Structure formats: C-alpha cells, structure tokens
Amino acid sequence: MVEDEIRRVTDRLSKERRSANMRAVKDRDTGPEMIVRRLAHRMGYRFRLHRADLPGKPDLVFPARRAVIFVHGCFWHGHHCKRGAAPVTNTAFWAPKLAKNAARDAVQRARLRRDGWRSLVVWECQIKDERKLASRLRRFLD
C-alpha cells in the first residue's frame, strides 16, 4: 500500500533526523570546544556561549572584553594543516563545500570586526598543547 510505504519512509526520515540532531548536540558539547571552554573557565574568564545575535554565532563570547573565540574543526573550516587537507577523492564534491565554509568564516569575522568585536580562531589541531593554548588565550583576552 502507498500509505504503508509513506509511513515507512517518514519513520525512517524522522529517525535519521533525530540521530542527526543528537550528533549535532554531541558535537557542540564535547571535543575541542569543551577543552577550550574548560580551560578559559579555569583561567577565570567568564563568557557566554553561541550568542545567536552575533555573526557566526561564536562559540565563546566575552562581552566585557568585546572579544569572541571560534573553535574550528580543521577539516570543515579548511585549516592549512595535515588534518585540514581536503579529501583527494571526490574533490569535485568537497572542494566547493569547504571553500564555501572558509569564505563564510571570513565574512563573519569581518562583520564582527566592523561591529567592534575582536575574534580569535582556535583550531582543533592547536589545543593539544595546553600551556601554549593558555598563553594564547591570555594574550588575546588580557
């Protein structure tokens, strides 16, 4: 029956959307961003998260310092490092996508600058060395 088929497809789609949502939540609350958040917090800085009214919805927002931090995945945001290298297969698919992400990042940072916000990008590959990261945060925030 057509109805059965429709229901099956709808069920499958909503299940897929649910797990995509869960993945998105997990991405937001684990990994590189959490490391930066915990460190900044431990260093005594207070900040807001993902302020939707700012260009690019920055990961950490320090309102009093008029400063924001983005924590970027090297691959998705096109960092020029080993992790950030675009896949060699399916280049026609990935290259425009990744270029678009990088272009959007640049536009958002320009908008922030125009509005008087300083921004810092912490790349996923730069968080392993905690002391280095801490001194970078201090240089940027103090």
Dihedral of alpha carbons 93, 112, 47, 138, sign: positive
Shortest distance in whole angstroms from residue 82 CB to Zn ion: 7
Shortest distance in whole angstroms from residue 18 CB to Zn ion: 31
What token pair was written down for 100?
């678009």
Closer to Zn ion by CB, 23 or 128: give it: 128
Shortest distance in whole angstroms from residue 32 CB to Zn ion: 10
> What is d(CA 122, CA 124) in angstroms, rounded to the nearest whole number?
7
DSSP assignments along 12-38, one per residue: HHHHHHHHHHHHHHHHHHSTHHHHHHH
Closer to Zn ion by CB, 82 or 139: give it: 82
Asked if residue 70 lies in contact with residue 63, where contact means CB atoms within 8 angstroms, the answer is no
Closer to Zn ion by CB, 40 or 127: give it: 127
Q: Which residue has the tokens 């930066």?
A: 36
Closer to Zn ion by CB, 33 or 62: give it: 33
Shortest distance in whole angstroms from residue 14 CB to Zn ion: 35
Asked if residue 37 lies in contact with residue 127, where contact means CB atoms within 8 angstroms, the answer is no
Q: Give the footprint of Zn ion on this chain (CB under 5 A).
A: 74, 79, 81, 83-84, 123, 125
